[in-house]
Chains A and B, each alone.
Chain A
């Protein structure tokens, strides 16, 4: 399968620019989630956008439960996509789970990466009492989440969307996210959610050798502030900033904040 078709890859920006930005989206959204960010970088950067397997307009026939039962399948995909950057290392901007995919791919193939930006990412969502790690979820909460997704996906979407998006004064944002979730095949959504919420890649953080920016919003239901603080402590030389945005999707709800943060770093 052609890589471009498999991941619905789009090139944007200035093809003659010396620097490349690659944007990776999170669960339940697709490359369109960066549509308000891209214009600010079109002049000075070559830009690569793609859809993760199982999401957006990625080729559904290429989705495999076995390949994507952990993040490793996504890491292999991202490594191939980063190979499209014409031999120069690129800055990878990963939202949510794509942030950790970027961290892992950069640890495996550091020559493909220049810098990393992690928006609302987490190395582990489940609390871990023996190590006093707080990820934000306990086993009961995750079990309830998966049961809700399995028994009535539509109802789960309606409940989860506004909680994750926040910004109640702009309900159209949650509606937009709900439509995006509804477009997913429920069985794939559940499989992807399990791969995400059961991951534990804390050991990857100290291996990062690239300059890394961690972006934290307020009231993120998926990633509490303690997680981004943990990441900052464990990624050598990383920088964490709190932006003036609510919820898990600041690139949609507060694009100006994300643009400013990126411009200060890339």
Chain B
């Protein structure tokens, strides 16, 4: 097998075997570092276009490049002029907008990676002359496609993690206990207050079976179990039924009365029931 084909395949294989238990943010850094090692580059980095005013160096090796801010317009113009194709610089042009990143280097490859919401480029640099022949360029194009997948996967995962963190923070801050039971039978979710009331180990994702058991246990501690049971039969007669102001009078050492609401949640992607316990 030709040397460059082997390197491209090696890149695909190694990135496919990346340990998914690790935090997603390290996936791109690992991949960029791998490209650098496979192609024997001296510098490899990502330049992310954060917005119209900012492009920032990330996932760099050597890492002292990280955090540097580059004016995005001249770099964007460079990419436009080259129709967003990979740019091969056996030597640097005079009006090089990546001068700081290419200091002490002789030649470079700039790989545009266009994905929403933030486009990036990957910069590879060498301090000795390189022959960017057809085989090398094919290798780079294969790596480019895989890098695009990795970057898209990374951004998507970080986006969803951000949403999860935000909504969890909001739901955990509510003064009420919130329980969501998905109709699919595989997923449920409780906030901290609900975990406390139901005697669960902690907040977050829970199996619906565990939630059902915990709620049955709570109901059985009630002094008005019979009323609760009868109301529940009416409530579950139809999946569209809603209830609010439903009293659960809990006995024991510290008696409490919860005003319970239960409403269906039905959207394109998810259906289930939301339970809210107000003390």
Contact = CB atoms under 8 A, between A and B. Distances in A.
Interface of A: 62-64, 66-67, 70, 72-73, 75-76, 80, 108-109
Contacts of B69: 67, 72-73, 75-76
Interface of B: 50-54, 56, 67-71, 100
A65 B82 CA distance: 30
Given A72-B68, A76-B71, 14 more contacts: A62-B53, A64-B50, A64-B51, A64-B52, A66-B50, A66-B53, A67-B54, A67-B69, A70-B67, A72-B56, A72-B69, A73-B69, A75-B69, A109-B100
Contacts, number: 33
B100 A67 contact: no
Nearest to B52: A64
A212 B70 CA distance: 27
24 contacts: A62-B53, A64-B50, A64-B51, A64-B52, A64-B53, A66-B50, A66-B51, A66-B53, A66-B54, A67-B50, A67-B51, A67-B54, A67-B56, A67-B69, A70-B67, A72-B56, A72-B67, A73-B54, A73-B69, A75-B69, A76-B69, A76-B71, A108-B100, A109-B100
Nearest to A76: B69
A64 B56 CA distance: 12
B247 to A, nearest CB: 39
Contacts of B50: 64, 66-67
A72 B52 CA distance: 16
A62 B53 CA distance: 6
Contacts of A109: 100
Contacts of B54: 64, 66-67, 73
Nearest to B54: A67
Contacts of A73: 54, 69
A246 B203 CA distance: 54
Contacts of B68: 72, 76
Contacts of A75: 69
Nearest to B99: A109
Contacts of B70: 76
Contacts of A62: 53
A65 to B, nearest CB: 9
Nearest to A61: B53
Contacts of B51: 64, 66-67
Nearest to B68: A72
A64 B54 CA distance: 7
Contact of B56 (A63, A66, A108): A66
A149 B70 CA distance: 30
A108 B101 CA distance: 10
A67 B67 contact: no
A214 to B, nearest CB: 25
B228 to A, nearest CB: 44
Contacts of B56: 66-67, 72
B71 A80 contact: yes
Contacts of B67: 70, 72
Nearest to B53: A64
Contacts of A80: 71
B2 to A, nearest CB: 40
B98 to A, nearest CB: 12
A120 to B, nearest CB: 24
Nearest to B57: A72
Nearest to A74: B69
A203 to B, nearest CB: 9
Q: Across chains A and B, which 10 residue pairs bring their CB atoms closest together, nearest first?
A: A67-B54, A64-B53, A66-B50, A72-B69, A73-B69, A76-B69, A66-B54, A64-B54, A67-B53, A72-B67
A73 B57 CA distance: 11
B259 to A, nearest CB: 33
A78 to B, nearest CB: 11
Nearest to A72: B69
A156 to B, nearest CB: 26
Nearest to A79: B100
Contacts of A66: 50-51, 53-54, 56
Contacts of A64: 50-54
A221 B70 CA distance: 34
A67 B100 CA distance: 17
Which of A70, A76, A80, A109: most chain B CB closer than 10 A?
Answer: A76
B65 to A, nearest CB: 11
A116 B69 CA distance: 22
B48 to A, nearest CB: 9
A176 B52 CA distance: 34
Which of B52, B54, B70, B100: most chain A CB closer than 10 A?
Answer: B54
A199 to B, nearest CB: 11
